Structure 1
Amino acid sequence: MVALGANRAGGSGRLDRTGDVIPGNSPARCSSFHVSRTLPECALLDETPACHTSRQQMLADRVRPTSMARPPHRWPAVDDDCLFCAVNHASDEALEWYDRPIFRDPEAGVAIAALGSFVPGYVLVAPAWHLSSVQGLPTGVVSGFIDFLTRVVDQVETAFGPCTVFEHGSCRSSERRRSACLTHAHAHVIPGRYSLGSLGLPVRVFDDFATFAALPVQDRFDGYLMYREPDGPVCYAEDLGVSQYFRRHIAATLGAADDWDYAVFPHWDNMRLSIRELTSTPTRIGI
């Protein structure tokens, strides 16, 4: 793990411990953890029974620590059954190798290798607060997370080249269909260009992530889609309610349309490459 604002010490050795690496594309299993069996919203939206069963099995097999250290009182929003809350607040030793943070800022959030990594360098960046979207973060917190996200993007681009950033922003109403699979906000950072503008979404355009995040509440969508292509503006549209909307497009663009489903195609090898490359050189993220 690379701690922000400090030199990396032994990060590669810790994150490259792959004695428990799961071969092939089978979901991981570990008997020493409690299992969270609450299905993500998108599991209910898949078009085929096979996808539903696969996602159900993946969530059943993805685990949380038996004892998660409670964060300080300044973190009022934490869910003991949430993957990203566990990643933010549990020790590395309590997490599976693929859920251990690559980058961590205790005041802002974490970045982990993305399950379902289409390409090496694909990471998920999640805030320390358990809220459903980046726009939902409190005013006093969101700027710190945006700064953290920006530094993570810089680091990934240094290692893997220009990146696309997107978010399936969860809606506030649990009854609505939505693109996100988890109710804890997270941004996707994926190396490459995928012509998301060709989707023809009716977007609002912002100069940067900070301006997008600061949009007045009355002007926001209940659920949204956000993306920024390399060297482009931040684009913002209403959520269409299609599970993993951007991932479906990216998978098709890469010529592997079925690979959008991370439960069926986790791409373990790409995850390992992300971890090794991003922890093998001194970090450039620190202040």
Structure 2
Amino acid sequence: CGVESMSRAPLVLSKANNAFDRAQQLVDTTMGARFTNPKISAAFGDDSMPQTADNIAADLGISRAQCDEFAARSQANYQAAKQAGYMAAQIVPIEVPQGRKKPAITISEDEHPRAGSTEQVLGGLRTLANDGVVTAGNASGLNDGASAIIVGSQAVGEKYSVAAKARILAGAVAGVEPRTMGLGPVPASQKALARAGLTLDQMDVIEVNEAFAVQVLGCLQLLGIDFNDSRVNANGGAIAVGHPLGASGARIIQNALAQLEAKQGRYALVTMCIGIGQGIAVVIERI
């Protein structure tokens, strides 16, 4: 299971690096590296997460228009999946107390998705950097969330009469340059597929966590997957639903399983990037 409360991430004040140092920093701990060791910065850089995404755009020639097109598709796919009942089947409603004199509020839907997020609407947003492609509309949201899946042996499942939905065939992690940390899913996916003895063409479902639209497009480009491949994030992704860091891994595995069941598919590749320069991937088989 995983949980993240990004709305409650504190502001923290750095300690002095040396005697009489007055250059303390007040830092938002919501995302990204904090108080980077100067020697590490000198060796690997200290780009923020949006900067790493813009680096991918510059390196691979991915345009702002392509990013907005992908982001609009993520939002549209989420809304279609919601209407089809996919999301309700995966969400556990939570009651939030409002005090003694007010009734509790039941949260039964994701709050972050924005219906009507067209390419035209997204194209009107300002980029974070003057020469970049990342905007608030083609990046994942900062969210609170939790998710859980049960992983165990067949013997334990039989003991407690819990039927398995899928098996993990292989998994892998891989390191990449921190300046393009979002490309971590590429080598991780290649390693996981090789360990499973399978190819991308055999995957019925492909889930790539959407930290940034350009990051996903960069991974697809390097993996040789068409940007419009219908297997990729068919129910929308983190650009729509948000990316509460600790919860996203289990969420996208659940989403992949739901798609495999709906289309009676067999294999899924699930992968995500990790800040500072890593990727992780898992290949699952529906049973």
TM-score, with normalisation over the residues of structure 2?
A: 0.25
Relative to the length of structure 1, the TM-score reads 0.25
